[in-house]
């Protein structure tokens, strides 16, 4: 069975979600729940760190598709960081790099949120 965990941290007003494992149609609801909790509690500055994410399918990308507009409308953003080449290529195939802020490191994302 697909294994997937989320570790949540905060850095000042920014929430960081560290993803580990495989994000697919079986595990995407877990990420969706975590994002919903943040949005529902008015936490709109979100960094998703992909360092430990080994795999993503379109079901995983779909979660970001569903929530990015809501978060941006509230003055926040979902910034995506530390992707492996394998994971980045899936985002790239769908044209995400022009639609999302995809950064090399979590630190870059935190700087952009605080500057």
Partner 1 sequence: MLVSASTSQIAEVRDFVGHHAEAYGFSAEDVHDIKLAVDEAYTNVIKHAYKFDDTKKVQVKILTGEKEFTISLSDEGVAFDPSAYTEPNVAERIMLRKRGGVGVYLIHKLMDHVEYRNEGTHNEILMSKKR
CB 5 to partner 1: min, Å: 14
- CB of residue 59 to partner 1, shortest distance in Å: 6
Minimal distance, residue 63 CB to partner 1, in Å: 7
| Comparison of 9 and 72: residue with beta carbon closer to partner 1 | 72
- CB-facing half-sphere around the CA of 73: CA atoms within 13 A: 6
Q: What angle do CA 115, 36, 75 make, to 5 degrees?
A: 30
CB of 50 to partner 1, least distance (A): 15
Q: Which is nearer to partner 1, 43 or 96 (CB)?
A: 96
- Of 62 and 108, the one with the shorter C-beta distance to partner 1 is 62
Contact 3, 22 (CB under 8 A): yes
> For 16-29, what is the HEC assignment?
EEEEEEEECCCCHH
Residues in contact with partner 1 by CB under 8 A are 1-3, 22, 24-26, 55, 57-59, 61-63, 65-70, 86, 90, 93-96, 98-99
| DSSP characters over 60-88 | HHHHHHHHHHHHHHTT-EEEEE---HHHH
């Amino acid at each position: 069975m697909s294994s997937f965990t989320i570790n949540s941290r905060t850095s000042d007003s920014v929430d960081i979600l560290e993803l580990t494992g495989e994000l697919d149609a079986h595990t995407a609801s877990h990420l969706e729940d975590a994002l919903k909790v943040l949005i529902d509690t008015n936490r709109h500055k979100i960094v998703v760190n992909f360092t430990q994410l080994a795999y993503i399918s379109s079901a995983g990308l779909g979660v970001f598709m569903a929530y990015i507009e809501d978060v941006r409308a509230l003055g926040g953003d979902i910034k995506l960081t530390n992707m492996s080449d394998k994971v980045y290529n899936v985002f790239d195939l769908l044209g995400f790099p022009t639609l999302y802020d995809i950064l090399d490191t979590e630190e870059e994302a935190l700087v952009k949120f605080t500057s």
